[in-house]
Structure 1
Amino acid sequence: MMALSDSTREKLRKISTATVATCLFKRGLRNQMIQGALPLHPVADSMVGEAMTVRYIPAREDLNGLDVFKDPMHPQRKAVENAPAGKVLVFDSRKDARAASAGAILVGRLKARGVAGVVTDGGFRDSAEIAVLGIPAYHQRPSAPTNLTLNHAIDVDVPIGCGDAPVFPGDVILGDADGVIVIPAHLADEIAAEATEMTAYEDFAAEKVAEGRSLTGLYPATDPANLEEFAAWRKQRGR
């Protein structure tokens, strides 16, 4: 599997999850948006990185005491301590926010390691502290109890489901103000290129709509005259 290139990473930073969703839909991929995962703090720059995953199953009480965290190979701790810089750590928390996937100390460790962001379909504890750490973080809602109360961390870097979206290790994760979408790794370059082109036209169309232009023939671009105007607009703006 090829690593995410710097050029593709930078393209993805400038496009929206909505535009990517349309590109994926055209390829028959309809369930790539992680449902319920919203940004913990206002989003200034999009989160982009390859997925490292943590899988949970329902907790079994005799195996899930606090002493499990003494083991450095515990999957949650192993993932946090070994997540490579530039990756996005994605937790399959079974869509249950009642038990936290991580707290401020663990997320702080991810930031120190240069991780690009963290996503869960559950919740975080210490959410107010995480919100000021300066690392992109997406979750369902605040959560206080330790994940041990409901979830048992079972594996790292395996295929998971997060918010009903399939996430394979190495898939590209894009997060913006709307939420998080999963781009299959082998499609990342072509999706980034296509979405960049779509974004340019959408910016043009939005500008014309703001000027009072009708949608007919403009969006979608069924009138050739609009495409000619777009080409001139794009050249003028260096897009």
Structure 2
Amino acid sequence: MSTLKEATRARLKTVSTPTLATALYKRGLRNQFIQDVHALNPGLPTMVGEAFTLRYMPAREDLNPITVFQDPEHPQRKAVEICPPGAVLVMDSRKDARAASAGGILISRLMVRGVAGVVTDGGFRDSAEIARLSIPAFHSRPSAPTNLTLHQAIDINVPIGCGDAPVFPGDVIVGDADGVMVIPQGIADEIAVEAVEMTAFEDFVTEMVQKQGRSIRGLYPATNPQTKLDFEAWRKERGR
């Protein structure tokens, strides 16, 4: 059952992953960015959802013939069918994109079921097809061979590593054109509120730099007391 508040989801859709990285770093969390994954469709709105995980291990040939896909309980197929709507399917593919974590049909099924997005630290086949879908998808690079050649789907909804980031079921996943952040479930609400505040200040700073030509000294960070007064006036004027 989802515990992600709709207000928190809405806030997280308005902030960037770099801003979230800073907010998490302030709390000593330095390893929450999923390394080396890229959006296939970066023009889509920001992806936000709770993590539902799938873990791959190195394939053992006698246990992983192509006939395993005939089993409706096969972990990969099952994950696609039970990943909750609004969640993000996060796959641990051991940072190995030589074989595909999934392809266009499975990603389409996730999209139709209302899943919020999909992430693998491996690769997808049919990447051009996936890039045209309306579901956010992140991978390392395109992969043509089926996962059966190298990967064996083994566990559903267990703690995993994805792109060197720890991902626990229920963690909040946020993905945009810059990449994917993992927010520990217990602090998602407060991180979302803080990130919205940080975004307002960053928007103010950007406007001061681009439109007024101000120096960043005393502005970013706001070490000049006048900066804080200017920011409050800016917020009031814009309803931020």
Length-normalised TM-score, structure 1: 0.98
Corresponding residue for residue 164 of structure 2: 164
The whole-number CA distance in structure 2 between the counterparts of 1:143 and 1:129 is 13
SS at match of 1:67: helix
Deviation by residue 1:61-92 (Cα, 9 ceiling, x = unmatched): 11111100111111111100111110000000
Corresponding residue for residue 106 of structure 2: 106
Corresponding residue for residue 141 of structure 1: 141
Is the CA contact (8 Å cut-off) linking 2:2 and 2:50 kept in structure 1?
no
SS at match of 2:51: strand
Q: Give the unaligned 5+ runs of structure 2.
A: none
Corresponding residue for residue 88 of structure 2: 88
Task: Give the direction of change, closer, same or farther, for the CA distance of 1:159–1:196 in structure 2 (3 Å limit).
Answer: same
Is the CA contact (8 Å cut-off) linking 2:118 and 2:138 kept in structure 1?
yes
Deviation by residue 1:167-202 (Cα, 9 ceiling, x = unmatched): 000000000100000000001000000010000000
The whole-number CA distance in structure 2 between the counterparts of 1:132 and 1:176 is 16
Corresponding residue for residue 155 of structure 1: 155
The whole-number CA distance in structure 2 between the counterparts of 1:146 and 1:223 is 57
Is the CA contact (8 Å cut-off) linking 2:52 and 2:83 kept in structure 1?
yes
SS at match of 1:52: strand
The whole-number CA distance in structure 1 between the counterparts of 2:2 and 2:144 is 38
Shift of 1:43: 2.6
SS at match of 1:101: strand
SS at match of 2:170: coil
Is the CA contact (8 Å cut-off) linking 2:44 and 2:134 kept in structure 1?
no
Deviation by residue 1:16-73 (Cα, 9 ceiling, x = unmatched): 0000000100111001000011101223310000000001111111111110011111
SS at match of 2:50: strand
Partner amino acid, structure 1, of 2:162: C
SS at match of 1:118: strand
Shift of 1:2: 6.7
1:4 is the counterpart of 2:34 = no
Is the CA contact (8 Å cut-off) linking 2:57 and 2:154 kept in structure 1?
yes
1:223 is the counterpart of 2:228 = no
Identity level (%):
69
The whole-number CA distance in structure 1 between the counterparts of 2:233 and 2:18 is 26
SS at match of 1:20: helix
Length-normalised TM-score, structure 2: 0.98
Cα RMSD between the aligned structures? Answer: 0.9
Corresponding residue for residue 191 of structure 1: 191
Is the CA contact (8 Å cut-off) linking 2:37 and 2:179 kept in structure 1?
yes
Partner amino acid, structure 2, of 1:4: L
